[in-house]
Amino acid sequence: MIRLVLTRRDDAPAWMALVSPLIAVALTLLSGAVMFALLGLDPLKALGVYFISPISDGWALQELAVKATPLILISVGLSLCYRSNNWNIGAEGQFVMGAIFGGWVAIATHGAANGPWVFPAMMLAGMLGGAALAMIPAILKTRLAVNEILTSLMLVYVAELLLDWLVRGPWRDPKGFNFPQSVMFDKDAQVMRLMADGRINLGTPIAIIVVVIAAIMMARTLKGFEIRLVGAAPRAARFAGFDEKRLTWTVFAISGALAGLAGIIEVSGTMGQLQPSVSPGYGFTAIIVAFLGRLNPIGCLIAAVVLAITFIGGENAQISLRLPLDVTRVFQGMLLFYVLACDAVLNYRITLVRTGGAAA
Amino acid sequence: MLPAPPLIQAKAIVKRFGALMANDHVDLSVAGREVHALLGENGAGKSTLVKMLYGLLQPTEGTLLWQGAPFSMRNPAEARQRGIGMVFQHFSLFDALTVAENVALALDGHEPVTTVSERLAEVSRAYGLPLEPGREVWRLSVGERQRIEIVRCLMQSPRLLILDEPTSVLTPQECEGLFATLERVKAEGCAVLYISHKLEEVRRICESATILRHGKVVGSCDPRQESAASLAEMMVGSKVAPARHDRLTVAGEVRLAVNGLSLPSPDPHGPSLRDVGLELRAGEVFGIAGVAGNGQDELFAALSGEMLAEAAGTIRIDGAAAGRLGINARRLMGGAFVPEERLGHATAPAFRLSDNALASGHATNSFVRRGMIDRSATRAWVDHVVKAFDVRKGPRDPEAKTLSGGNLQKFIVGREILRNPRLLIVSQPTWGVDAGAASLIRQALIDLSRSGAAVLVISQDLDELFEIADRMAVIFHGRLSAPLDTEGLRRETVGLLMGGAGFAADTVDEAA
C-alpha cells in the first residue's frame, strides 16, 4: 500500500506566498493552451482572445472595471471571513438578497416623486439584505454548532428561488409583455455613471474605497488583529479576551453586507431592473478571487481584475471562436485548483510512504 | 570466554533534522538485565535517540547492534518483533474503548479480545500491575493508563523495555509501585532503558547512566556513586543555584478569594471543579499540586476568566466579585495569567513577539490608540521584556515559534510580570524549559511575590513547588485540599493527597 503524507514546511520563505499565485496563473495558461489545441484551435490566438482582448482598448477596460467591481466587493468581505476561520460559501445568495432588498426600494419608489436619496437608500437596503441572509449561518454556527459551509451554501438556492418567484409573481412589470422581470428602475434609482459614453459607474470607486478601508483595518487596527488571531490561533485569541462568537457574527455581517452592496450595484448599474438571474456566479468566483488574492484586500483587488478578464474573455471567445461560455468556468476552476495545489506543494513536503504488510 | 556483547548498542549515531543536529555521534550500550538511565535536559536529544532504537526514526549515520550484530528497523513493528517495547510519555490510547480492546488493537497479531483479556489479566497479576480488562480507558487515572502501556509491552515478552519519563505523571506512591515493577521486570531478564531528568529516582533504580547534552554524550557513570548535584552538573554543564527564598514573614491582605467554585469541564471526560475554595494573600507564592488531568486546566480557565463561573461572588479579586468578568476585565483589576501551553495558547506560533505582546496586553498596556495599533509601542515593549528577562533570539521581532521553549517561556512570563500585576496566576511555569531559564523564571515569581503581589503556581512538578511555594494545596478530581504550609511539610503527605487519600469519599468513588 502506498500512502501520501503531507508534512508542513516550517522553513517556507515568505516570498512563496506571493510567487505561488503567479505560478498558478502560468500553469492555468499552459493548461488552457493544451485545451485549445485539443479543441483544434490555435492556442496562441485563443489565449489572445481570452486574455489580451479584454485589456486591449478603453471600452474593454471599462467593461473590465464593471466586472471586477462585484468581485472586489465580495472577495474583500470573504477574505475577512476566511481569515478568521469562518467559511462563508454563500456570497452568491447574499449578492442576490442585496439585489432583492435594494430592488424593492427602487420598485416601491417607482414612478413616485423621488430624489437623489433613492440610490443611497437602495445601497443601504442591499447591504442590510445581504447581511441578514449571512447572519443565518452565523447564528446557527454560534448557537447550535451547525456547519456554516453547508448552511451558507444552501441559502444561495433559497435566495435565488425567492428572486425567481418575485420577478415572475408580485414584482413582475405589468407592462412587460409577461416577461419575468421587474419595471426598469427610475433615473434616481440607478448608479451614477462616471462617463457619458461608457458603462463604468460609481460602484468601482466605492469598491476601491472598501479595499483601502479593509487594508487599513487588517493591518493597523485591533479589530483586524482580532480577525487574524482568531483564525491563526483560536485559543490564544480567547486568552487575549476576544469573543470568537461575536467575531463570527461581525465578519459574516460585513461580508454579507458587501456582497449585498455588490448585488444592488450590479442590478441598478448594469441591468436597471430585476431579472430571474442577476449574477453570472460572482459570489462563487469571488471565493477564487479571495484565495488568489491571499486573503488580503489589496491582493483581492488584483485577483478580481484577473478573474474579470476570464469573464470578458469568455464572452469574446463565444463570439469570435464560437466556444461555449462554460470554457470560462473551466478556466476559473483550473485557476482555483492550481492556486490550492501550488500552496500545498510549496508549503508542504510531500512524501510517498510505502507501508509494508507487517506494519500495524 | 569472551564477555557477552551488550544487548543493544548504538555506535556514533547521528540524526539531523534540517540544520539541527539532534544526535551528534551518540554512543550508547545497554547490557542485558540492566536498568540504564538516559539523562538529559529537555531538548538534549533523548527522545530522538530512543525513537531510533524503537524504529520510529531512522538514523542519518551510525550503526545499531543487537547482541553484537548490526541491524536496522524500518518501523516499530520490527522493533517489537525483536523484543523491544516502549512506553511513551504521551499515551496512545482510545478513551472510549476498554483496556483489553486497546491492548488487542496494539498487538501485531490478530488475537480475539477475549484471549487478549485473559492474558492481560494474567500478566498484570504476575507483575503486580492491577488492571481490569473490561474498564473503559476514560474512567482510569493517568497512573492506570500508564499501567496499560506497560502491560501491553510486557505481554510481548520484551528483551528491552524503554520508558520515556514514566514518573512525570505519577504520584510519589505510584512511583514506588512502578519501581517495584521494574525490579520484577529486571529479575525476569529484561533490560530497561529509563529516560528521565529526575535525578533522585535515577540514583535509586539505575545501575548505569548515559548523559546527553545538546545532542552529545557528555558522560556516563554509575548514578549510585554520584550525588544529585554532580549528576545535575553533568546534565546542565554548570552549577545550578536553587532559587533564593526568604521565608515569608507577614502575609498581606487577601488578593484572590475563591469560595464554593463549581464548574463543569468543557471536555466531556474532563474533571469538573467541585466546591473549590482558596485564599491567596499578597506577598505569598501559593502552589497547586496534583497529577495532570485533575482539574488544573479547568481551574486556570476559571481563575483567568476564559471560562466564566456560575456566580460572580465565587471568585473575588481584591474583594470585588469577578466570577462573571472576562479575562481582560480581570487584567484591568491587576490580574496577569500565564497558561501551560506556550504555543497556541499563551502565544500564536506564527505571530511576531510584538503581536503576541499585543494579544495579552491590549487592554492594559497603551498599545492601542483610538482602535489603531501603535507598533512602535509594542516593539518597544518586546525590547523591554527581552532585556529584563534575557530572552535570546535572532532578529529583533521574530515569530514566537522560532524561539526555543525556554526563551519563549521567559518572554511569556516577562510580558506579564513587567506589567507589575497584583495577582499572577501561572500554570506549569517551567514545563519543558531548560534549567537556566527555569531558575530565572522561579526567581522572578518569588521576587514578584515579595514585592507585594500574590502568585498562584499550578504545577505537576513537586520539586518546583517545594522550592518556591510558601503554602500549597492539592487538586484531585476537581476538588482542592486544605492549604498546607510548605515549611516542615513532608512529600509523602502531599503524595497521599495527590493519590486521593483524605478527600471526601464521593470524590474517590466517582473516580473509581
β-strands B208-213, B216-221 pairing: antiparallel
Is the minimum CB–CB distance between B364 and chain A shorter than 8 Å? no
Domain CATH number, residue A34: 1.10.3470
Phi, then psi, of A88 in degrees rounded to 5: -80, 105
Is the minimum CB–CB distance between B362 and chain A shorter than 8 Å? yes
Mutate to test the interface with B, among A222, A244, A295 (most CBs of B within 10 A): A222
Contact B244, B256 (CB under 8 A): no
How far does the CA of residue A140 sit from the closest CA of chain B (Å)? 20
Whole-number pLDDT of residue B249: 63
- Which residues, listed in sequence order, are joined to residue B426 by a DSSP beta bridge? B338, B457
> Would you call A237 and B359 a contact, using CB atoms and an 8 Å cutoff?
yes
Whole-number pLDDT of residue B511: 42
Phi, then psi, of B167 in degrees rounded to 5: -90, -5
Q: Do B166 and B315 share a domain, yes or no? A: no
Q: Which of A221, A235, A240 is closest, CB to CB, to B344?
A: A235
In a domain, B277, yes or no: yes
Is the minimum CB–CB distance between A241 and chain B shorter than 8 Å? yes
Least confident of A3-12, A125-134, A327-336: A3-12
Other CB atoms within 10 A of residue B190 CB: 23
> Would you call A360 and B77 a contact, using CB atoms and an 8 Å cutoff?
yes
* Biggest distance spanned by C-alpha atoms of chain B: 85
Cβ-based contacts of B300 with chain A (< 8 Å):
none
Contact A94, A253 (CB under 8 A): no
pLDDT digits (tens, 9 = 90+) for B466-485: 999 999 999 998 999 999 99
In a domain, A359, yes or no: no
> Would you call B372 and A220 a contact, using CB atoms and an 8 Å cutoff?
yes
Q: Do B376 and B346 share a domain, yes or no? A: yes
Mutate to test the interface with B, among A223, A238, A239 (most CBs of B within 10 A): A239
- Which residues, listed in sequence order, are joined to residue A6 by a DSSP beta bridge? A350
Contact A218, A224 (CB under 8 A): yes
In a domain, B475, yes or no: yes
In a domain, B170, yes or no: yes
In a domain, B326, yes or no: yes
Whole-number pLDDT of residue B395: 86
> Would you call B306 and A360 a contact, using CB atoms and an 8 Å cutoff?
no
Cβ-based contacts of A295 with chain B (< 8 Å):
none
Whole-number pLDDT of residue A96: 98
Mean pLDDT for all residues in chain B = 87
Q: Do B292 and B232 share a domain, yes or no? A: no
Other CB atoms within 10 A of residue B496 CB: 16
At B139, list the grid cell. Answer: 474512567
Domain CATH number, residue B152: 3.40.50.300
Count of residues for chain B? 512
Cα–Cα distance between B105 and B148 in angstroms, integer? 12
In a domain, B182, yes or no: yes
| Count of structural domains within chain A | 1
Contact A114, A194 (CB under 8 A): no
Q: Per-residue pLDDT averaged across B138-147, rounded?
A: 83
Alpha helices for B280-343 (secondary structure H): 296-304, 327-332
Mean pLDDT for all residues in chain A = 90
Q: Do B320 and B372 share a domain, yes or no? A: yes
Whole-number pLDDT of residue A359: 38
In a domain, B365, yes or no: yes
Whole-number pLDDT of residue B250: 65
At B19, list the grid cell. Answer: 540544520
Is the minimum CB–CB distance between A359 and chain B shorter than 8 Å? yes
Contact B428, B458 (CB under 8 A): yes
In a domain, A208, yes or no: yes
pLDDT bucket at B106, cuts 50 / 70 / 90: confident
Res. A15: pLDDT tops 90: no
Cα–Cα distance between A241 and A224 in angstroms, integer? 15
| Count of structural domains within chain B | 2
pLDDT digits (tens, 9 = 90+) for A285-323: 999 999 989 899 999 999 999 889 988 888 888 888 888
Assign A138 to helix, strand or coil: helix
Chains A, B: CB pairs < 8 Å? 82
Other CB atoms within 10 A of residue B319 CB: 10
Residues 6+ away with beta carbon under 8 Å from B147: B124, B129, B130, B131
Q: Per-residue pLDDT averaged across B134-161, rounded?
A: 87
Q: Do B205 and B272 share a domain, yes or no? A: no
Q: Do B162 and B101 share a domain, yes or no? A: yes
Higher pLDDT, A95 or A44: A95
* Secondary structure, 3-state, B62-87: EEEEECCEEECCCCHHHHHHHCEEEE
Is the minimum CB–CB distance between B368 and chain A shorter than 8 Å? yes
Q: Per-residue pLDDT averaged across B76-90, rounded?
A: 87
Residue A269 DSSP label? I
Q: Per-residue pLDDT averaged across A57-75, rounded?
A: 92
Res. A212: pLDDT tops 90: yes
Whole-number pLDDT of residue A251: 98
Q: Per-residue pLDDT averaged across A114-134, rounded?
A: 94
Is the minimum CB–CB distance between B337 and chain A shorter than 8 Å? yes
Cα–Cα distance between B401 and B387 in angstroms, integer? 19
Share of chain A above pLDDT 70, in %: 96
Contacts of the segment A118-121: beta carbons below 8 A, 24+ positions apart? A118/A186, A118/A188, A118/A189, A119/A188, A119/A189, A119/A190, A119/A191, A119/A192, A119/A268
Share of chain B above pLDDT 90, in %: 46
For residue B446, give the H/E element and its range: helix B435-450
In a domain, B244, yes or no: no
Cα–Cα distance between A41 and A18 in angstroms, integer? 32
pLDDT bucket at B242, cuts 50 / 70 / 90: low
pLDDT digits (tens, 9 = 90+) for B244-301: 666 666 678 999 999 999 999 887 777 899 999 999 999 999 999 988 888 999 999 9
Residue B194 DSSP label? E
In a domain, A312, yes or no: yes
Higher pLDDT, B286 or B175: B286
Cα–Cα distance between A160 and B6 in angstroms, integer? 76
> Taking CA A143 as the corner, what is the angle to CA A141 and CA A145, rounded to the nearest 5 degrees?
45
Higher pLDDT, A161 or A330: A161
How far does the CA of residue B336 sit from the closest CA of chain A (Å)? 11
Cα–Cα distance between A335 and A52 in angstroms, integer? 17
In a domain, A360, yes or no: no
Whole-number pLDDT of residue A354: 64
Is the minimum CB–CB distance between A237 and chain B shorter than 8 Å? yes
Higher pLDDT, B436 or A284: A284
Is the minimum CB–CB distance between A12 and chain B shorter than 8 Å? no
Residues 6+ away with beta carbon under 8 Å from A68: A204, A207, A304, A305, A307, A308
pLDDT bucket at B243, cuts 50 / 70 / 90: low
Cβ-based contacts of A220 with chain B (< 8 Å):
372-373
Residues 6+ away with beta carbon under 8 Å from A238: A244, B306, B327
Is the minimum CB–CB distance between A221 and chain B shorter than 8 Å? yes
CA nearest to B205, candidates B13, B37, B393? B37
Q: How far is CA B381 from the centre of its chain?
A: 30
Cβ-based contacts of A240 with chain B (< 8 Å):
327, 359-360, 362
Q: Per-residue pLDDT averaged across A221-236, rounded?
A: 96
Q: Which domain, by its residues, includes B451?
A: 254-511
CA nearest to B43, candidates B182, B212, B258? B212
Phi, then psi, of A138 in degrees rounded to 5: -65, -45
Cβ-based contacts of A213 with chain B (< 8 Å):
none
pLDDT digits (tens, 9 = 90+) for B318-349: 999 999 999 999 999 999 999 998 989 999 99
Cα–Cα distance between B161 and B152 in angstroms, integer? 11
Q: Which domain, by its residues, includes A177?
A: 2-354
Q: Find the residue in B nearest to A9 (Cα).
A: B18
Res. B509: pLDDT tops 50: no
pLDDT digits (tens, 9 = 90+) for B10-28: 999 998 877 678 899 999 9
DSSP string, B377-437: HHHHHHHHHHHHTT---SSSS-BGGGS-HHHHHHHHHHHHHTT--SEEEEESTTTT--HHH
Q: Do B259 and B170 share a domain, yes or no? A: no
Q: Do B162 and B267 share a domain, yes or no? A: no
Cα–Cα distance between B354 and B376 in angstroms, integer? 9
Assign B117 to helix, strand or coil: helix
What's the alpha-carbon Rg for chain B, to the nearest Å?
24
As to burial, measured by CB atoms within 10 angstroms (0-12 exposed, 13-18 middle, 19+ buried), residue B131 is: buried
Whole-number pLDDT of residue A327: 83
Q: Find the residue in B nearest to A235 (Cα).
A: B345
Q: Find the residue in A nearest to B339 (Cα).
A: A239
Cα–Cα distance between A88 and A150 in angstroms, integer? 9
Cβ-based contacts of A232 with chain B (< 8 Å):
348, 350-351
